[in-house]
Amino acid sequence: YPKWLDPGSPSISVGAATARRLARDHGPGTVVWRYDPVLLAEGMEGRWHLENFRALASMMEGATDECVTSFIDFYAKFSRSLPMVMEANGAPMAHPGREELLRLLESMAAVAGEHGMKLAACCEKEDVRGAVAPARCVDRGRMERVAGVDLSAIKSRPTRRLCGCHASVDIGGYDSCPAGCAYCYANRSQKKAAINARGVMAANPGLWPIT
């Protein structure tokens, strides 16, 4: 996404290099790539997303076997502010129909397959047909394969409708990410988040970005 929408994320090259290093050091299946939220707007139509996804999938080939995606959900924290940001930057939001969304998912799934990965949809209300699997963002089976331990005691614990996740403990916190994404549901105030992040990062080295 453009910097006015997603100002604080690492560069694509840094992200891909980090993913490859994690896969090399900890084995195949360690990394799950997320391409979300998919936000459709003027200049960011389905064709734009597909070409963007194709370029990123090429960079991620060999570093992951799964990409998780979803269309944007309008949380209360940004349901008013995000459309204003989009309008101010000449990219008013689009509201495509179900068939257009399904075609985009199917095209993305085909691209993912070309690069050795499957596409999975996180809590996606659309009938995503056979090409796209329901996602488990916290996946007991994947963790068992990566760690080589029996986690059968961990039960399914969805966090919302259509969620396929197993039980987990969230190590994050609201109003604590300094990235500044305009579509973030976890920050009510970017200023407050930046202040909180300094304290959180200092106290929890395990949350520092991987470099």
How confident is the model over 110-146, as pLDDT tens digits?
999 999 999 999 988 756 667 788 899 999 999 999 9
Q: Does residue 102 register a pLDDT over 70?
A: yes
How confident is the model over 185-194, as pLDDT tens digits?
888 888 888 8
**Beta carbons of 147 and 137 less than 8 angstroms apart:** no
Confidence of residue 20 (pLDDT cuts 50, 70, 90): very high
Q: Where are the domains of the chain?
A: 12-135
Contacts 24+ apart (CB under 8 A), 46-52: 46/96, 46/100, 46/103, 46/104, 46/107, 49/104, 49/108, 50/104, 50/107, 50/108, 50/111
pTM, to two decimals: 0.88
The tally of CA atoms less than 13 A away on the side-chain side of residue 201 is 13
Confidence of residue 207 (pLDDT cuts 50, 70, 90): low
Q: Does residue 39 register a pLDDT over 60?
A: yes
